Structure 1
Amino acid sequence: MHSNISFPELFLTSMAEILPTELNMEDFIAACQRPLRKSVRVNTLKISVEKFVERAQTKGWALEPVPWCNTGFWIDADESEVPLGNTAEHMAGLFYIQEASSMMPVSALFTEKDAPYLSVLDTAAAPGSKTTQIAALMKNDGILVANEFSASRVKVLHANIERCGIRNTALTNFDGRVFGGWLPEQFDAVLLDAPCSGEGTIRKDPDSLKNWSKESIQSIADTQKELIESAFQALKVGGVLVYSTCTLSREENQDVCWHLKNIFGDAVSFESLESLFPEANKALTEEGFLHIFPQVYDCEGFFVARIRKNASVDTPAVKKRLGKFPFEKANAKTFSDVNQELQKCLGISLPEHSSIWLRDNDVWLFPDALEPMLGELRFSRMGIKIAETHKKGYRWQHQVATTLATGYEDNCVELSIEDAREWYMGRDVRPQGQSGQGEVIVRYGNDVIGLGKWVGNRVKNGLPRELVRDKNLF
């Protein structure tokens, strides 16, 4: 219990003013003082929900479906010896530890009415829970631009994208307010999970209200209004914007959406989320938004709005000086050569709707849907690096295995549990009674966990530094 949580008196007063009549403050306070139920989302780029449920049963994990996300589950697991984050399944990217309510914005974005999308913008992406959820729903097709303003958090974002086997992303590191001017009407869908005061996160972070004040909320809301304008400008006509926060105040939620409507008029329409999941009406506002207090679904406090763009709007004029683009698109012959070598060495084929791009000795795979944006904005990382060239051909890279291999290729080596632990700690392994030559796909059980290189009877470790763990493994 977080019974020692202290609530600013003015915060409780402001909550009492906006709490729906069918709810009461006693339940609100009691819910805020209860620890959150742990929840996970299955990464369907790596495993089906059915297979994950079967595996969970063998491990003694009790699962309860999250009603608004068909790949989400509340989970009850014994973590006394191994935390969920250090399980083999998590490190292989089979699931993401994600708060249940934070799965809702992406579910609201991807309805049967609109998906699939060819181009999506995630405006505030780190640490990557929603980015990886979007990529799975896109089935690794199209282009997903994942932006994070905080440079220190981009590294974590990329590590999660890499762990989950995602290849259709392009990362950017900008203030989210730039996209309306730099990439106007470029995206089929935009998610703006806006930076906020975090009032809804108190069950996870008892200190979240430590510096709470009305003044700070108004300051944050001003930024959110600028962010939502830019996100809307970056959206194609006919496209969908989902605006979400993990806070409760009207100033940061309904008022921000109405600001957009007041600015752009009939170009903006609100779409009801009443049918998003059973009992969604319990949190439904008059506009059709979901304003979720923590006692309603026993989760974090959250807000979600779905907005349609009906017409073009004015966008800011910007002067672009991007410099020379450092990549060169490979011709058809080079693409064919790379594909043939990849098939020959690892039994892997390059995916459709992708292109090879070269930079010095590096070989990259970009989604074709990214190409129209390449001269319009500076990206910090695009697609996946698949190889480095050398005199005798190509030296394949980690993400070739984790994003393109199935684990059923002939050129695989399966590790014991002891060797798999060593692998995740960044060490070379010596699979008993095995040897080979060249690169090899590394597997633990049925899961591809990386790419190594045979040196006699030893497999040289190719795990990226950011994915290395040092203790308390499965």
Structure 2
Amino acid sequence: NDIVLDTCAAPGGKSTKLATKLNHTGLLISNDISSSRCLGLLKNIELFGCDNAWVASEDLTNMEQHYPETFDKILVDAPCSGEGMFRKEPDLIKSWIEKDDTFYPPIQKNILNAAISMLKPGGSIVYSTCTFSIHENEEVIQDVLDKHPDLHLAPINKIDGMMPGVNMEECVRLYPHKIKGEGHFVALLVKDGETKHKKIRLEPSDKLDDCVTDFLRLVKLNKGTIKIKKDKVIWLNSDFQAYKGYRVLRSGLLLGQLKGKHFEPSQSLALALCPEQFKNVLNFSIEDERVIKYLKGETLDVKDLDSKTSGWTLVCVNNFPLGFAKLSKGSLKNKYAKGWRYQ
């Protein structure tokens, strides 16, 4: 039930891990200042089936003015010189020659200071980089500790291969010759005080068209609010409010889209569901050649499955959802999202 902020989220690997930890509770604000990178971030959030995430592209210095002491936990996986990735991506060496390790510390400090102002008392921040530079790691941490007396470092339990920070035993350094992977730095910061969870008061749902209501009879959604934004139908599980000018790509789970008098459920809804949450389900074995045909967008013959249902159907493989289709007389009309289709 935490409200969590991922500050530099694209392309979304860590956001999806945070969503797993939340386990369909609370709220994840997955933010990246680059609007172009946010498109990939949104795709990955949807692909992963996250139903409790907002995807935003906002400058944190704007956010901190509107969300003081709002978040229970914050991840700052900061932009850095990338020294820890030279072995994996040699092209980063050229970037380091142009900017070296003095370019990023001011940016890292600005991001981290903004995050601290948005952190609730009792909340925690993970600060991480993929560089070895003391200027971008321990010196950045020391700078915010000096500026924020209500902040302290919390020790991270070390496992085999983890090394302590330079003159900061609480932190972790990862070296390629000590672990299976690349180079990283991690620090855990905690703000003094006690976190108070605010009770979520959901607004009433908007008036829904009959076509939406009819479709929703097939779905078992968790407690939330349904809002209509132009032709899009959004499900929200939080009373989190966007301020004017806040650049949000997605504020909740996209249930689908109104197309005249018809409702078309979304790919993101399909992936957010478990089979038991939808009335009509067709489950294929992963060995079934129709799985690839479905992913290619083809109409399928499913007479052998002896399904007596018709209409909207959740298509699954080994009980994992793939997308929607419409079933009629043993024929499955494909509704798999065009932009996602297997080539």
C-alpha deviation, 1:426, in angstroms: 3.1
* Distance 1:286-1:338 versus aligned 2 partners, 3 A rule: farther
Do structure 1's residue 450 and structure 2's residue 335 form an aligned pair? no
Distance 2:242 2:152 in 1: 31
Query: Is residue 198–residue 208 contact of structure 1 (8 Å, CA) maintained in 2?
Result: yes
What is the match of residue 121 of structure 1? 5
Distance 1:356 1:450 in 2: 21
Query: Is residue 221–residue 277 contact of structure 2 (8 Å, CA) maintained in 1?
Result: no
Q: Tell me, what secondary structure is at the counterpart of 1:226?
A: helix
What is the match of residue 229 of structure 2? 359
What is the match of residue 269 of structure 2? 400
Q: Tell me, what secondary structure is at the counterpart of 1:196?
A: coil
Query: Is residue 303–residue 331 contact of structure 2 (8 Å, CA) maintained in 1?
Result: no
Query: Is residue 124–residue 176 contact of structure 1 (8 Å, CA) maintained in 2?
Result: no
What is the match of residue 184 of structure 1? 68
How is 1:250-399 mapped onto 2 (pairs within 5 angstroms)? 250-264=134-148, 266-273=149-156, 275=157, 277-279=158-160, 282-287=163-168, 288-310=170-192, 331=204, 334=207, 341-342=214-215, 344=217, 346=218, 348-352=219-223, 354-368=224-238, 371-375=239-243, 377-389=246-258, 394-399=263-268
Query: Is residue 47–residue 268 contact of structure 2 (8 Å, CA) maintained in 1?
Result: no
Q: Tell me, what secondary structure is at the counterpart of 1:227?
A: helix
Distance 1:391 1:148 in 2: 34
Q: Partner letter of residue 289 of structure 2?
A: E
In the alignment, structure 2 segments of 5+ residues that lack a partner are 195-201
In the alignment, structure 1 segments of 5+ residues that lack a partner are 1-116, 313-328
Aligned-residue CA RMSD (Å): 2.9
C-alpha deviation, 1:421, in angstroms: 0.7
Query: Is residue 430–residue 458 contact of structure 1 (8 Å, CA) maintained in 2?
Result: yes
1:46-68 Cα deviation digits (max 9, x unpaired): xxxxxxxxxxxxxxxxxxxxxxx
Q: Identity percentage over the alignment?
A: 27
Distance 1:238 1:413 in 2: 46
C-alpha deviation, 1:394, in angstroms: 4.1
Query: Is residue 16–residue 45 contact of structure 2 (8 Å, CA) maintained in 1?
Result: yes
What is the match of residue 15 of structure 2? 131
Query: Of 284, 288, 296, which residue of structure 2 is paired with 1:425?
Result: 296
Distance 2:25 2:337 in 1: 24
Q: Tell me, what secondary structure is at the counterpart of 2:106?
A: helix
1:207-229 Cα deviation digits (max 9, x unpaired): 22123249532111111111111
After TM superposition, the score normalised by the length of structure 1 is 0.63
Distance 2:153 2:50 in 1: 31
- After TM superposition, the structure 1 stretch with the greater mean CA deviation from structure 2, 388-397 or 235-244, is 388-397
After TM superposition, the score normalised by the length of structure 2 is 0.86
Distance 1:451 1:160 in 2: 18
Distance 1:290 1:466 in 2: 41
Q: Partner letter of residue 231 of structure 1?
A: A
What is the match of residue 80 of structure 1? none
Q: Partner letter of residue 236 of structure 2?
A: F
Higher helix fraction (1 or 2): 1
Q: Partner letter of residue 140 of structure 1?
A: H
1:144-178 Cα deviation digits (max 9, x unpaired): 00011222211211111111110111111123343
Q: Tell me, what secondary structure is at the counterpart of 1:282?
A: strand
